[in-house]
Structure 1
Amino acid sequence: MTRDAPEAPTPDAPEATAPDSGVDPELCRRIEAILLIAEEPQGIVALAAAVASPVRPVRAAVSWLAADYDGEHGGYRRGFELREVGGGWRLYVREELDDLISDYVGSQVPTRLSQAALETLAVIAYKQPVTRGQVASIRAVNVDSVVRTLLARGLVTEVGSDPETGAIFYGTTDALLAHLGINSLDELPHISPLLDDVDDVATFDGEVRR
Structure 2
Amino acid sequence: MVKFTKDTIIEALLFASVDPVAAGKLAQAAGLEEAEALASIDTLNAQYEREGRAFRIMEISGGYQFRTLPELSEYLKGLARQIAAHRLSHASLETLAIVAYRQPISRVEIEKIRGVSASGVLKTLLEKRLITVCGRAQVLGRPLLYGTTADFLRYFGLADLSHLPRESELQVILSEQEGRMVSQVEPGEEDNGGPTDQQTLL
- What is the TM-score of this pair, normalised by structure 1? 0.46
Relative to its length, the structure with more helix (as a share) is 2
- What is the TM-score of this pair, normalised by structure 2? 0.47
Which is bigger in relative contact order (C-alpha 8 A, separation at least 6)? 2
